[in-house]
A = this chain, B = another copy of it.
Amino acid sequence: MIENTEQRTELSKLGEFGLIHHLTKDIKLYDNNTIKGVGDDAAVIRGGDKLILMSTDLLVEGIHFDLSYYPLKHLGYKAAVVNISDIIAMNGTPRQLTVSVAVSNRFPVEALEEIYEGIRLACDHYKVDLVGGDTSASHKGLILSLSILGDVAEDEVVYRSTAAEGDLLCVSGDLGGAYMGLMLLEREKQVFKADPSMQPDLDGFDYILERQLKPEARADIINHLRINKIKPSSMIDISDGLASEALHLCTESALGCAIYEEKIPIDVITADMAREFGMEPAIAALNGGEDYELLFTVKQQDYEKVSIIPGVCIIGHMTAAAEGARLIGRDGGVVPLVAQGWDAFN
């Protein structure tokens, strides 16, 4: 069948987001209860007096993770967190998870036990129920596909598309750490390959390693916002880098934005490691993925309330679409924000 296809457009031409858009445009919806389909962190479905949130993520060995340094238990934990984070990013509460695994026969049962142990730890931590799944053989490698359900009160749900001009752009935690952890693990893998007698030099880098190997979803930030009676005007989780996610908010809300480089929160170990790799720390934050922090906007009148939430930084504001998405450098120079985040097809 593949050979017979007359026209051939390479997947890399569209890229991951372009491909999803291309395949799912013009979709017809039948159920009046389907409020939001493709295009946000989760689908939104009316269910009684609440909204049901549904999301799914795929993790492929060799594309999303390298088992030569990624412990299986951590992989299971992270796979669950990635899904949980999608529900959190809608301002929702994660509830039920399904897990599908395809594995080649090079994996013993004990390897799957490790993965499930990690998933279970995440389920315990976030109080999520593992309710089903599927297992299959694969010809090569390990593939994890998780789907999650959550819920949220109708007046609490937060979309990507509802930011307004002048809203403050905020981010939780610090950025770029997961990417620097990955760079470090990759470097030590190459060193080990070149000389197997070398022991990996990971001392003092616990923070960025943990950012990569054991990310957390920011349920705590959602709680802080709720306690402080702040409802974000828009929100997304940072899985592909700050630049890519800020551009999603801009596109979906039909706005531009201004982000101030000096305001982007970067941990000192992340910054040191970036410089060691000859990279501006801000580049790691803008383009490095997998931090699973929250990027959200709040009304200007919430400025004081949001300022006191620990671990939240105001990094800019939303502008008219005509102004574009801009990064204002430390020197006052302005450059357009470009998504150079991670793309599975590139």
Contacts and interface: CB of A to CB of B under 8 A. Distances in A.
Given A33-B95, A145-B100, A43 B136 contact: no
Given A63-B138, A111-B1, A129 B11 contact: no
Contact of A139 (B19, B20, B62, B108): B62
Interface of A: 1-2, 5-14, 16, 19-20, 22-24, 27-31, 33-34, 36-38, 42-43, 45, 47-50, 52, 54-64, 67, 70-72, 95-96, 98, 100-103, 105-114, 116, 120, 123-124, 127-141, 143, 145, 147, 149, 151, 344-345
Given A50-B48, A147-B147, A37 B132 contact: yes
A132 B52 contact: no
A96 B54 contact: yes
Given A62-B139, A143-B138, A23 B113 contact: yes
A43 B109 contact: no
The 4 closest A-B pairs by CB, nearest first: A48-B48, A145-B145, A43-B131, A147-B147
A315 to B, nearest CB: 27
A62 to B, nearest CB: 5
Contact of A1 (B114, B127, B132): B114
A24 B72 contact: no
Contacts of A57: 100, 134
Contacts of A105: 10-12, 345
Contacts of A52: 47, 52, 149
B96 A45 contact: yes
A223 to B, nearest CB: 17
A135 B96 CA distance: 22
Indicate how many identical chains form the complex: 2
Contacts of A61: 139
A56 B130 CA distance: 12
A259 to B, nearest CB: 27
Contact of A45 (B71, B95, B106, B128): B95
B58 A134 contact: yes
A145 to B, nearest CB: 4
16 contacts: A5-B110, A5-B114, A22-B113, A24-B130, A31-B128, A34-B95, A37-B131, A43-B96, A45-B131, A47-B47, A56-B133, A56-B145, A57-B134, A58-B102, A60-B139, A105-B345
B131 A34 contact: yes
A43 B149 CA distance: 11
A274 to B, nearest CB: 26
Taking each of A31, A58, A109, which has the highest tally of chain B beta carbons within 10 Å of its own beta carbon? A109
B43 A10 contact: no
Contacts of A103: 11
A98 B55 CA distance: 8
A71 B129 contact: no
Nearest to A61: B139
A98 B54 contact: yes
